[in-house]
């Protein structure tokens, strides 16, 4: 498996210096001598994921012999009939699976639902091409700046593809309408552009007493590598991001990945040695691994009959490759490992499955961070569980857990911020109009522009069929958070501070002034489009 530094992956072709937006040569990032202490020792093994790409191998008998029955003849006939139409499932989301995940899915209907294309996916293509208004917060291509944190699109693929993927527009390389009126694909983050932005923003913050002079934002101190899955990149690329971000002033680096489920052998000695060396050279930079296990079948052994294998003490037995990878990461106490997962119809909308997942992960020193209600991506109605049902499922799953096992909360990602579904009541609230059938209470946990909305709530009358916020817009009782003001700003201005610029600039807005501006926007009557007089 070992190869020389710089060896290419057999199953991947990655060009980090070019995007779909430009073919011109970009300014090259030059590592410092300190970065070289890490980069010069990186090894790049080859990782043979044995990936099956697309439906063609299944449709044309090109898949490995033992995979030929993964799709039924009826499923394949239905999928073939959609090809070239508006309902072509591979136009919505490419099909992709690794050998490891196939082996796990063979005895798991839940995992099959997760990776197998279905005609149901495109029966209703309603949804948002830019969920939560992500591009409103993109001052640099491939970078989203939300409060004290930046998210980077560093690659546009994964080892396998979840059919419900929240990044279907990036994975499928779709054209997206931008705030400036242009329409183009999302580009990937570039080292120099990203680090220049971080340095400039933080310099402006420091010179202005701890807040950006125009936005009031604090230091950008935490960066999440996302995509796609960063763990598809070779070790040298990951090390390049880690060291460059550390040099730019990042205090915390997160890596969002599902590779522990799709190809756990990626977490080998070469990768762990790179992390060790990075920690040795940059001991003050925290590393957090944000993993993505959706179902206990992704980590536990099952019999051919679909039952979990138990040890002599009655505990469920892990798949050896997954356990080895998890132990390699969690044994390093300076790496925080946290799991988050959406609750998806037919995959993990099961209290018993979520209870086993949370208990098993906590025992392995993986924290249970968030469960999500499905995002309003294109075709979300094929995947999302109703909001109130998802809350009930999670609440019921945690009834059999200890306090330390039951930390996860249910959240929805609104363009106003990450929002918890705090509670769902069953009984009417006397004297409160709209609460005759009980209420749902939402609470803002994160705000993308600043922290001003944190803790604000909205209370709505129940709607058991609601899949998203807009299904409650006729039942709003209280909305101090502004969650049901669906008029998104036309453009969120995130200025790029220039290195070497004067500290003098626009006066920082006070919290009261920001609140005043928000209230003005909240109650502004939208301009109605003109109608023809003909």
Mark whether 117 and 176 lie in a shared domain: no
Residue 108, pLDDT score:
96
Range of the domain at 72: 52-122
Residue 447, pLDDT score:
80
Mark whether 129 and 254 lie in a shared domain: yes
Mark whether 132 and 90 lie in a shared domain: no
Say which residues have a Cβ less than 8 Å from residue 387's Cβ, sequence separation at least 6: 373, 412, 421, 440, 466, 467, 468, 471
Tell whether 20 is covered by a domain.
no
Mark whether 209 and 229 lie in a shared domain: yes
Q: CA nearest 458: which of 474, 437, 444?
A: 444
**Distance between alpha carbon 292 and the CA centroid of its chain, in Å?**
9
Residue 6, pLDDT score:
37
Structural domain total, the chain: 2
Residues 457-497 pLDDT 10s = 999 999 999 999 999 999 999 999 999 986 554 444 444 43
The residue among 122, 155, 175 that closes a domain is: 122
Residue 493, pLDDT score:
43
Low-confidence ranges of the chain (pLDDT < 70): 1-24, 450, 486-534
Tell whether 250 is covered by a domain.
yes
Q: Hey, what are 441's tokens?
A: 């209470």
Tell whether 492 is covered by a domain.
no
The residue among 67, 87, 122 that closes a domain is: 122
Mark whether 149 and 234 lie in a shared domain: yes
- pTM to 2 decimal places: 0.86
Residues 106-135 pLDDT 10s = 999 999 999 999 999 999 999 988 888 888
Mark whether 206 and 76 lie in a shared domain: no
Mark whether 40 and 188 lie in a shared domain: yes
The CATH number that applies at residue 199 is 3.20.20.70
Tell whether 286 is covered by a domain.
yes
Residues 7-66 pLDDT 10s = 333 333 333 344 444 456 777 999 999 999 999 999 999 999 999 999 999 999 999 999
What are the residues facing 384 on neighbouring strands? 344
Mark whether 363 and 331 lie in a shared domain: yes
Mark whether 218 and 112 lie in a shared domain: no
Tell whether 493 is covered by a domain.
no
Mark whether 193 and 60 lie in a shared domain: no
Mark whether 293 and 366 lie in a shared domain: yes
Tell whether 390 is covered by a domain.
yes
The residue among 60, 93, 122 that closes a domain is: 122
Tell whether 416 is covered by a domain.
yes
Q: CA nearest 519: which of 475, 479, 472, 459?
A: 479
Scored b (16 or more CB within 10 A) or e, 394-424 reads beebbeebeeebbebbbbbbbbbbbbbbbeb
Tell whether 405 is covered by a domain.
yes
Mark whether 471 and 418 lie in a shared domain: yes
Q: At what angle do helices 387-397 and 351-363 cross, to 10 degrees?
A: 50
Strand 183-185 with 175-177, pairing = antiparallel
């Amino acid at each position: 498996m070992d190869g020389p530094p710089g060896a290419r992956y057999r199953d991947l072709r990655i060009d980090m210096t070019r995007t779909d937006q430009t073919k011109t040569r970009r300014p090259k990032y030059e590592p410092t001598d300190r970065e070289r202490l890490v980069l010069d020792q990186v090894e790049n093994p080859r990782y043979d994921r044995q990936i099956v790409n697309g439906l063609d191998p299944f449709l044309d008998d090109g898949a490995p012999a033992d995979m030929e029955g993964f799709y039924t003849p009826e499923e394949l006939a239905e999928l073939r009939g959609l090809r070239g139409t508006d309902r072509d499932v591979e136009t919505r989301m490419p099909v992709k699976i690794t050998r490891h995940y196939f082996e796990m899915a063979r005895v798991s209907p839940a995992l099959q639902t997760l990776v197998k294309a279905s005609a149901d996916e495109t029966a209703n293509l309603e949804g948002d091409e830019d969920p939560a208004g992500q591009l409103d917060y993109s001052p640099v291509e491939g970078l989203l700046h939300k409060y004290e944190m930046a998210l980077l699109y560093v690659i546009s693929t994964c080892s396998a593809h979840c059919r419900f993927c929240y990044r279907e527009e990036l994975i499928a390389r779709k054209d997206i309408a931008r705030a400036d009126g242009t329409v183009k694909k999302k580009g990937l983050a570039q080292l120099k552009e990203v680090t220049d932005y971080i340095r400039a923003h933080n310099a402006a913050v420091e010179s202005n007493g701890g807040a950006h002079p125009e936005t009031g934002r604090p230091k950008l101190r935490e960066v999440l590598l996302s995509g796609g899955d960063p763990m598809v990149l070779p070790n040298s690329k990951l090390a390049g991001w880690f060291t460059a971000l550390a040099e730019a002033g990042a205090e915390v680096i997160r890596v969002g990945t599902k590779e522990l489920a799709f190809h756990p052998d990626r977490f080998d000695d070469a990768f762990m040695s790179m992390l060790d060396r990075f920690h040795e050279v940059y001991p003050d930079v925290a590393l957090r691994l944000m993993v993505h296990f959706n179902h206990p079948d992704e980590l536990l052994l099952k019999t051919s009959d679909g039952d979990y294998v138990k040890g002599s003490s009655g505990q469920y037995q892990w798949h050896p490759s997954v356990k080895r990878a998890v132990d390699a990461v969690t044994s390093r106490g300076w790496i925080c490992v946290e799991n988050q997962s959406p609750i998806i119809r037919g995959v993990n909308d099961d209290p018993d499955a979520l209870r086993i997942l949370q208990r098993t992960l906590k025992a392995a020193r993986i924290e249970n961070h968030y469960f999500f209600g499905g995002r309003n991506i294109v075709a979300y109605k094929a995947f999302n569980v109703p909001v109130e049902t998802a809350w009930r499922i999670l609440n019921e799953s945690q009834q059999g857990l200890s306090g330390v096992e039951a930390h996860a909360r249910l959240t929805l990602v609104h363009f106003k911020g990450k929002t918890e579904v705090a509670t769902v009541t069953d009984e009417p609230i006397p004297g409160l109009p709209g609460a005759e059938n009980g209420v749902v209470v939402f609470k803002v946990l994160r705000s993308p522009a600043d922290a001003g909305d944190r803790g604000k709530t909205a209370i709505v009358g129940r709607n058991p069929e609601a899949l998203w916020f807009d299904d409650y817009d006729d039942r709003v009782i209280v909305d101090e958070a502004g969650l049901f003001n669906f008029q998104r700003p036309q453009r969120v201005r995130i200025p790029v501070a220039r290195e070497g610029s004067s500290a003098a600039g626009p006066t920082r807005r006070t919290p009261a002034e920001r609140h005043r501006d928000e209230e003005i926007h909240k109650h502004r009557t939208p301009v109605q489009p003109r109608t023809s007089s003909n």
